[in-house]
């Protein structure tokens, strides 16, 4: 590892704060400035990644195979959207004293036998004075007292509604009310003609009876979390397309960009990186298309590369490859503003350091097939992290398809890139008629840094190495005449060519003579037959 790269890694760990020490002498200041200036982009990213809050999630079981499977994963993604650093532990792995140092605690109850009176966790919980959120049917006595809860176990179906969303026939494990004044209520659970709140909070305490992945409860919890983590700002809606590769239909991608630009809809595309053969015409066409998309008010994100199942064979130069791809884009005038990846990347030391360290903004997709290299139980928090939901999810739960009020957190409504013109026509018609207002990702501050380039955005402008760049671009045709493999000098090429011609002539002469013998033989046999 080079000296510059090692210094850069040190800066990313936060050691750059030494540069601000007041006791530096006048002799040392010029030397320190000389060391720090080349690493400016990395320092900026390190500063912005300091999380203001950290939360410990304690769960009793992942409840695999039940309706509650995946609720811990959903909770982790929601917290990331509120820029919270998360540590996840099961009750079985908890160690005494672990609660110290966390600004918040979330308990997830997935089983009914949660009582752990003789455990280290239970003893630490008695003296814990931080914020608490409990998810489950049987809240702790501390939570019951703080919110004045009156809980009743039930086995009924209820209709859930919150904000512009609603879902019918949700299995309800318990109902509750509060006899304490000034308790904030969230959503409504309706059983026949009686209504109960979905969530409650007061001060640093909050409670919801259940959380299930891919149901409306996932979105409903975000309303509770917004107040619980003291998020002051409202969220925004962003339109995002993924599953875009160099071999995708790039003409269709340009068509889609034109359609959305004419409709006044800003959008984001998350594109897969290319690590090798970046001088090929196919790569040039890819970059030209991305540059054109950028000119049509589109924003570029770099999507994480596909990780091989055989993780031991993973290329260990991921850092260099990601840096190379970003630099190739920058040289062409394409400014990526963040990264799109599955959530498990933010819980893996290798992927955080080697793949995500260039970005201060991410969009975290649900995990499909986690393949860890160096798994951690603590996440990397980012200053900007969009919570992604599919269009089909919103379509299921949005009342009349309208979402006029802002969401609790920044929301990326994701689509897979279309494959045909018919799909494109249907998609653009749907987006033109939507009641959802999409924001321009470039209006926020985003930063991407490599050793050679500083990229970012602010107030709608793209910035490349300190200069605002224009985003005008037209269709560019790329020549297909390219020598993919350099021709090597060949020995005896002329001799072999002459030899081949001689052999071909000999073969033709042989065939001619053989044909003559066949004709002579045929005539002799015919005369003999007549006699």
pLDDT digits (tens, 9 = 90+) for 287-343: 999 999 999 999 999 999 988 765 454 446 899 999 999 999 999 999 999 999 999
Instruction: Based on the fold, state whether residues 370 and 332 are members of the same structural domain.
Output: yes
Structural domain of residue 58, as residue ranges? 54-228
Q: Which of 175, 205, 228 is the last residue of a domain?
A: 228
CATH of residue 136: 3.40.50.880
Instruction: Based on the fold, state whether residues 323 and 459 are members of the same structural domain.
Output: yes
Instruction: Based on the fold, state whether residues 78 and 99 are members of the same structural domain.
Output: yes
Q: Is the dihedral of CA 394, 235, 366, 276 positive or negative?
A: positive
Instruction: Based on the fold, state whether residues 255 and 161 are members of the same structural domain.
Output: no
Residue 321 backbone dihedrals phi, psi, to 5 degrees: -70, -45
Q: Is the dihedral of CA 252, 254, 260, 262 positive or negative?
A: negative
Instruction: Based on the fold, state whether residues 295 and 418 are members of the same structural domain.
Output: yes
CB 209 within 8 A of CB 172: yes
| 255: its two tokens | 């068509």
Instruction: Based on the fold, state whether residues 449 and 346 are members of the same structural domain.
Output: yes
Instruction: Based on the fold, state whether residues 328 and 216 are members of the same structural domain.
Output: no
Nearest one of 369, 380, 239, 371 to 311, comparing CA atoms: 371
Read off the DSSP letter of residue 443.
Answer: G
Beta-carbon count within 10 A of 130 CB: 14
pLDDT digits (tens, 9 = 90+) for 115-166: 566 788 988 998 998 999 999 988 988 899 999 998 888 888 999 999 999 9
**Secondary structure, 3-state, 341-369:** EEHHHHHEHHHHHHHHCCECEEEEECCCC
Instruction: Based on the fold, state whether residues 370 and 438 are members of the same structural domain.
Output: yes
Q: Is residue 157 part of a domain?
A: yes
The strand order across the sheet containing 149-162 reads 165-178, 149-162, 188-191, 194-196
Kindly state the average pLDDT of the residues 369-398: 93
Kindly state the average pLDDT of the residues 497-504: 84
Cα-atom radius of gyration of the chain, to the nearest Å?
A: 31
Q: Is residue 267 part of a domain?
A: yes
CB 147 within 8 A of CB 178: yes
Instruction: Based on the fold, state whether residues 254 and 396 are members of the same structural domain.
Output: yes
Instruction: Based on the fold, state whether residues 313 and 177 are members of the same structural domain.
Output: no
Q: Is residue 107 part of a domain?
A: yes
Instruction: Based on the fold, state whether residues 60 and 44 are members of the same structural domain.
Output: no
Confidence of residue 282 (pLDDT cuts 50, 70, 90): confident
Q: How far is it, in rounded angstroms, from Cα 434 to Cα 401?
A: 7
pTM: 0.79
Measured CA to CA in angstroms, residue 336 lies from 18, 67, 90, 144, 246 at distances of 30, 38, 37, 48, 16
Which residues are CB-neighbours of 188 under 8 A, at least 6 positions away? Answer: 160, 161, 162, 195, 196, 197, 198
Measured CA to CA in angstroms, residue 286 lies from 138, 180, 232, 250 at distances of 54, 60, 40, 7
Q: Is residue 127 part of a domain?
A: yes
Which residues are CB-neighbours of 210 under 8 A, at least 6 positions away? Answer: 68, 135, 136, 137, 172, 173, 217
The DSSP bridge partners found for residue 172 are 156
Higher-pLDDT residue of 506 and 119 is 506
3-state secondary structure of 110: coil
Q: Which of 199, 228, 257 is the last residue of a domain?
A: 228
Q: How far is it, in rounded angstroms, from Cα 515 to Cα 272?
A: 62
**Secondary structure, 3-state, 137-191:** CCCCHHHHHHHCEEEEEEEEEEEEEECCEEEEEEEEEEEEEECCCCCEEECEEEE
pLDDT at residue 19 is higher than 70: no
Q: Is residue 476 part of a domain?
A: no
pLDDT at residue 428 is higher than 90: yes
Instruction: Based on the fold, state whether residues 394 and 464 are members of the same structural domain.
Output: yes
> How many folded domains does the chain comprise?
3
Q: How far is it, in rounded angstroms, from Cα 474 to Cα 409?
A: 35
Q: How far is it, in rounded angstroms, from Cα 219 to Cα 169?
A: 16
> What is the enclosing helix (H) or strand (E) of 388?
strand 384-390
CATH of residue 387: 3.20.20.370
| 471: its two tokens | 């985003």
Q: How far is it, in rounded angstroms, from Cα 462 to Cα 300?
A: 11
CA–centroid distance for 445 within its chain: 18
pLDDT at residue 33 is higher than 80: no
Amino acid 432: pLDDT = 93
| 146: its two tokens | 């703080």
Q: Is residue 464 part of a domain?
A: yes
Q: Which of 468, 490, 522 is the last residue of a domain?
A: 468
Q: Is residue 510 part of a domain?
A: no
Confidence of residue 492 (pLDDT cuts 50, 70, 90): low
Amino acid 316: pLDDT = 60
Amino acid 46: pLDDT = 36
Q: Looking up tokens 């509650």, which residue turns up?
A: 68
Q: Is residue 529 part of a domain?
A: no
Amino acid 184: pLDDT = 94
């Amino acid at each position: 590892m080079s000296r510059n790269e090692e210094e850069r890694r040190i800066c990313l760990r936060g050691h750059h704060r030494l540069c601000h020490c007041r006791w530096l002498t006048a002799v040392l200041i010029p030397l320190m400035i000389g060391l720090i200036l080349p690493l400016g982009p990395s320092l900026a990213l390190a500063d912005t990644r300091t999380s203001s809050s950290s939360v410990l999630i304690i769960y009793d079981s992942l409840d695999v195979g039940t309706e509650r499977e995946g609720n811990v994963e959903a909770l982790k993604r929601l917290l990331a959207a509120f820029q919270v650093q998360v540590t996840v532990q099961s009750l079985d792995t908890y160690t005494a004293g672990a609660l110290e140092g966390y600004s918040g605690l979330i308990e997830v109850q997935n089983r009914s036998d949660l009582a752990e009176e003789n455990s280290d966790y239970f003893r630490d919980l008695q003296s814990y004075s931080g914020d608490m959120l409990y998810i489950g049917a049987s809240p702790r006595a501390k939570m019951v007292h703080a919110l004045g809860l009156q809980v009743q176990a039930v086995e009924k179906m209820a209709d859930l509604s919150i904000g512009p969303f609603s879902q019918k026939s949700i299995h309800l494990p318990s109902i509750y009310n509060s006899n304490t004044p000034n308790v904030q209520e969230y959503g409504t659970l309706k059983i026949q003609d009686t209504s109960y709140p979905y969530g409650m909070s007061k001060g640093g305490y909050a409670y919801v009876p259940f959380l299930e992945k891919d149901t409306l409860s996932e979105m409903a919890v975000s309303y509770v979390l917004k107040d619980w983590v003291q998020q002051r700002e409202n969220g925004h809606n962003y339109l995002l397309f993924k599953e875009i590769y160099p071999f995708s239909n790039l003409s269709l991608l340009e068509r889609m960009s034109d359609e959305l630009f004419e409709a006044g809809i800003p959008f984001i595309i998350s594109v897969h990186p290319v690590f090798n053969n970046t001088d090929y015409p196919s790569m040039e066409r890819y970059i030209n298309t991305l540059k054109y998309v950028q000119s049509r008010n589109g924003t570029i994100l770099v999507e994480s590369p596909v990780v091989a199942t055989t993780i031991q064979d993973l290329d260990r130069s991921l850092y260099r490859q990601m840096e190379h791809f970003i630099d190739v884009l920058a040289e062409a005038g394409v400014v990526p503003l963040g990264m799109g990846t599955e959530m498990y990347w933010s819980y893996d030391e290798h992927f955080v350091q080697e793949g995500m360290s260039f970005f201060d903004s991410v969009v975290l997709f649900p995990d499909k097939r986690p393949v860890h290299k160096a798994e951690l139980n603590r996440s990397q928090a980012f200053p900007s992290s969009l919570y992604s939901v599919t269009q089909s999810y919103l379509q299921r739960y949005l009342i009349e398809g309208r979402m006029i009020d802002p969401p609790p957190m920044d929301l990326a409504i994701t689509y897979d890139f279309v494959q045909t013109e018919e799909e494109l026509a249907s998609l653009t018609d749907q987006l033109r008629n939507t009641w959802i207002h999409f924001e321009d990702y470039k209006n926020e501050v985003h930063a991407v840094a490599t050793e050679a380039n500083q990229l970012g955005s602010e107030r709608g402008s793209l910035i490349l190495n300190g200069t605002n760049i224009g985003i005008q671009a037209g269709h560019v045709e790329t020549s297909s005449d390219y020598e993919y493999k350099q021709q090597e000098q060949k020995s005896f090429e002329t001799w072999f060519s002459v030899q081949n011609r001689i052999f071909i002539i000999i073969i033709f002469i042989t065939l001619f003579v053989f044909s003559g013998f066949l004709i002579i033989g045929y005539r002799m046999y015919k005369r003999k037959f007549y006699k």
